[in-house]
Each structure stands twice: as structure tokens, then as C-alpha cells.
């Protein structure tokens, strides 16, 4: 009697295990193939996938804008201030060119809002609740040919040909916060000892990690001190009272190389300035000398004066030099 019960129990257990295994092995995969609501993504999920850093958690209150009828244009986040300015500007400009609605990931917008006062491209917060159709995305303007398609630009994208079509407008878009303008003007006035006939030339000296990048990507050495001296000489011959404002990620190198020039002022000598202030200082200058790198490039674009740049074949700065009439190298 007891044995018979045991046998029944055993058989039932084995049967139960078989049924569970059957369901798991043969039936669950079928469920997984069918799309369910969890695989439908919103723009909020999509935005998160674009951000590489400082992603801020979704606020509970959404604005619930109408969902986009046509495609949108946006970008992935990469790099520091200069790169993210290009990413923002590229979205802004590609939207103008195509008529698509521009949206910027909040991780980029939050960073730029600390520096600029009148950015106009909205974030995904506006359409966070809307479904996103990833099959409609292409990765460049060249691949786009249809208003229902969306464009997601890759990180680090630099698109001077489109952005600089509206150079005065992008300068307007990147209007510095009043606090930064005041600080940079105060610094320039102090340096010039209130001499009003001063011409300020912003100099950007990019070194540290860029030295290795130049070698890996272009097989070239960084600009040596002869480049900066020759460019300074050009402005000294052109204007009577010139002051050079040097901004660098390696101020120690600059102190060593420029210490015999009494018209050179190096920012961040003792305490490093925030990058936003250094950029505002470059932008407040009348003319520019830049070597390479997006930070110096933006400083020169926003200064809007004559710009001398370092010639590296195939570097994006050379492309800018072909577009902007007051940009040139030293022959
Ligand atoms: C859109 O562009 C792709 C190339 O990116 C091309 O293969 C396709 O034929 C184009 N479609 C139309 C409708 O022009
Ligand atoms: C900037 O300077 C102006 C005049 O010098 C002053 O009125 C204004 O309050 C300052 N703004 C900020 C944010 O520092
Ligand atoms: C140059 O600066 C000096 C003072 O540093 C001033 O006396 C002179 O007038 C300035 N020259 C011009 C052309 O602005
Ligand atoms: C700087 O580099 C140039 C080549 O780009 C070279 O002709 C020059 O001698 C170098 N100057 C110094 C001081 O090393
Ligand atoms: C040169 O820059 C200074 C500082 O921003 C500015 O006050 C001055 O008006 C500029 N000069 C010219 C000729 O634009
Ligand atoms: C840069 O240098 C290359 C060769 O070294 C030259 O052909 C080209 O014209 C230069 N570009 C500019 C903008 O000076």
C-alpha cells in the first residue's frame, strides 16, 4: 500500500518535471519570437542609449508634446565641450537643411546649458512618451532621402559644411551666459591695463592627449613653438598693440615656451579655469591662433575674427579653412 503510493507519487513527480521541461524548452521560445509590448521602445529609452555620460533620470512630469509626424534628427554623445558643441550644432544644422524636427539628448543639453544662454533645440523630454521606430533611422544626411526617415548622427561628428552655412546664426545660438561674458571681459581689461586700443588675439595650445592622437591618426608631430611664434609675429606686424591670450590644457608648457614675450598672457597659470570660462575668453578676443582640436576651433568661430590655423592634411580644421574666408595658414 505504502509502496504503491510512493510509486504513484514518483510517477506524478516525473510527469510534472517532464511537463515543465516541455513547456520551457519547446513553448517559451515561441513566446519570445512574438513581439510584445516590452520590445516597443519610447524616445525616453532611445535618449538613454545616445548618452555616454551624466545621464539624468527621467522627471516624473512630462510635457506630452504631440509625437513627431515625420522623422527627427539627433546625435549620440561623445567627447568634451568642443565635441558636444559640434554634435549639437550638427543636429541644429541638419534639421535646418532637411526640415526634420531636431531633438538633443538631455545629457548634452545639460552640459551646454551650463555655458550658453539661448539654446533653441529641445530635448527628448518633450516627446519622451512617444514610440520610436528604430527601423526608420539612418546615420547621415547622405543616407537620408525621405521625410519619414530619422537621422541619428554618430558621436564626434563634425559637419562644418552644413553648420557654417549659417555661421552668424550658430554664433548667436552659442551666446555665453552673462556671468561668463562679464568674467572674460574683466580678465581682458585687467590684462590690457584698461588700454582701449588693444587688439586681443586668442591662442589655443592643445597638447596632453591630443599629441598621441595626432600621431596615431595623422602620423604627425604636434605644432612646435615656431608655429605659435610665427603666427604671433604676423599679428604683431599687422597691429600696433597686440596682446596674446593663451588658453591651453598644458599651461606649464606655455609658461616655459612663451616666458620671453611680455605681450603674452596665459590663463590658468596657477588654478585651472573651467573650460567654459576659457572658451568665453577665446570668444571675447578679436582674432585667433589655433593649432587643432574642437575647443580651439569653436573659440575661433565664436571670436569671429581672422584666424591662423596649423595645417595638417585631411584634418577637419583644413575643411573649415576652406569655408571661412578669414581663416588661413601661414604660407
Ligand atoms: C534612399 O537612399 C538609399 C541609399 O542610402 C537608396 O538605396 C534608396 O534607393 C533611396 N530611396 C529612394 C526612394 O530614393
Ligand atoms: C554683468 O555685468 C553687468 C555690467 O557690468 C551687470 O549689470 C550684470 O549684473 C552682470 N551680470 C552678471 C550675471 O554677473
Ligand atoms: C599702444 O599702447 C600704449 C600704451 O600701452 C599707448 O600709449 C599707445 O597709444 C597705444 N597705441 C595705439 C596705436 O593704440
Ligand atoms: C618646428 O617644426 C618645423 C617643421 O614643422 C621645423 O622646420 C622647425 O625647425 C621646428 N622648430 C623647432 C624650434 O623645433
Ligand atoms: C576687441 O575685443 C575687445 C574685447 O572683447 C572688445 O572690447 C573690442 O571692441 C574689440 N575690438 C574690435 C575692433 O572689435
Ligand atoms: C597644407 O599643406 C599642404 C602640403 O603640405 C598643401 O598642399 C596645402 O595647400 C596646405 N593647405 C593650406 C590651407 O595651407
- Provide the 10 A C-beta neighbour count for residue 210: 17
Taking CA atoms only, the protein residue closest to ligand 2 atom 3 is: 182
Measured CA to CA in angstroms, residue 73 lies from 68, 126, 154, 172 at distances of: 11, 14, 11, 21
> What is the pLDDT, as a whole number, of residue 8?
55
> What is the pLDDT, as a whole number, of residue 13?
54
169, 192 Cβ separation under 8 angstroms: no
Beta strands in the chain (DSSP E): 72-75, 101-102, 137-138, 150-153, 199-205, 242-248, 264-266, 287-290, 307-309, 327-328
The CATH number of 176-328, from 1.10.8.60, 3.40.50.2000, 3.40.50.970, 3.90.79.10, is: 3.40.50.2000
Question: Closest by alpha carbon to 109, among 183, 46, 50?
Answer: 50
d(CA 153, CA 125): 19
Provide block-wise average pLDDT over 10 residues at a time, the chain (331 residues).
55 51 42 39 90 68 77 96 98 97 96 96 92 92 94 95 97 98 96 88 96 94 96 97 96 95 91 94 98 96 98 92 96 77
Cβ of 142 below 6 Å from ligand 1:
no
- Atom of ligand 2 minimally distant from the CA of 183: 14
Q: Where are the domains of the chain?
A: 43-165, 176-328
> What is the pLDDT, as a whole number, of residue 87?
98
Say how far residue 74 (Cα) sits from the centre of its chain: 12
155 DSSP assignment: T
pTM: 0.86
Pocket probe for ligand 5: among 192, 200, 201, the residue whose CB has the most ligand atoms within 8 Å is 200
Nearest ligand by distance to the CA of 307: 6
Local structure of 116: helix, strand or coil:
strand
Amino acid at each position: 500500500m505504502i509502496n504503491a503510493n510512493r510509486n504513484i507519487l514518483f510517477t506524478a513527480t516525473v510527469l510534472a518535471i517532464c511537463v515543465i521541461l516541455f513547456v520551457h524548452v519547446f513553448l517559451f521560445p515561441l513566446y519570445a519570437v512574438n513581439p510584445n509590448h516590452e520590445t516597443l521602445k519610447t524616445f525616453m529609452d532611445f535618449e538613454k542609449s545616445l548618452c555616454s555620460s551624466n545621464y539624468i533620470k527621467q522627471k516624473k512630469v512630462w510635457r506630452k508634446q504631440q509625437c513627431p509626424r515625420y522623422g527627427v534628427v539627433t546625435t549620440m554623445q561623445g567627447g568634451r565641450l568642443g565635441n558636444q558643441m559640434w554634435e549639437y550644432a550638427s543636429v541644429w544644422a541638419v534639421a535646418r537643411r532637411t526640415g526634420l524636427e531636431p531633438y538633443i539628448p538631455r545629457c548634452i543639453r545639460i552640459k551646454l546649458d551650463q555655458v550658453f544662454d539661448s539654446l533653441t533645440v529641445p530635448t527628448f523630454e518633450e516627446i519622451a512618451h512617444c514610440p520610436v521606430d528604430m527601423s526608420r533611422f539612418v546615420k547621415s544626411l547622405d543616407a537620408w532621402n525621405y521625410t519619414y526617415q530619422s537621422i541619428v548622427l554618430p558621436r564626434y561628428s563634425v559637419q562644418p559644411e552644413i553648420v557654417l552655412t549659417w555661421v552668424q546664426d550658430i554664433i548667436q545660438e552659442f551666446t555665453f551666459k552673462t556671468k561668463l561674458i562679464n568674467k572674460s571681459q574683466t580678465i581682458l581689461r585687467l590684462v590690457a591695463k584698461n588700454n582701449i586700443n588693444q587688439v586681443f588675439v586668442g591662442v589655443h595650445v592643445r597638447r596632453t592627449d591630443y599629441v598621441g592622437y595626432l600621431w596615431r591618426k595623422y602620423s604627425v608631430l604636434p605644432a612646435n613653438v615656431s608655429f605659435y611664434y610665427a603666427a604671433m609675429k604676423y599679428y604683431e606686424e599687422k597691429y600696433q598693440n597686440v596682446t596674446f591670450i593663451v588658453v591651453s590644457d598644458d599651461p606649464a608648457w606655455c609658461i616655459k615656451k612663451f616666458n620671453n614675450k611680455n605681450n603674452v598672457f596665459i590663463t590658468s597659470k596657477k588654478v585651472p579655469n573651467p573650460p567654459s570660462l576659457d572658451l568665453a575668453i577665446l570668444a571675447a578676443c578679436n582674432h585667433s591662433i589655433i593649432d587643432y582640436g574642437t575647443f580651439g576651433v569653436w573659440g575661433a568661430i565664436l571670436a569671429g575674427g581672422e584666424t591662423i590655423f596649423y595645417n595638417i592634411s585631411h584634418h577637419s580644421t583644413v575643411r573649415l579653412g576652406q569655408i571661412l574666408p578669414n581663416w588661413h595658414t601661414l604660407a
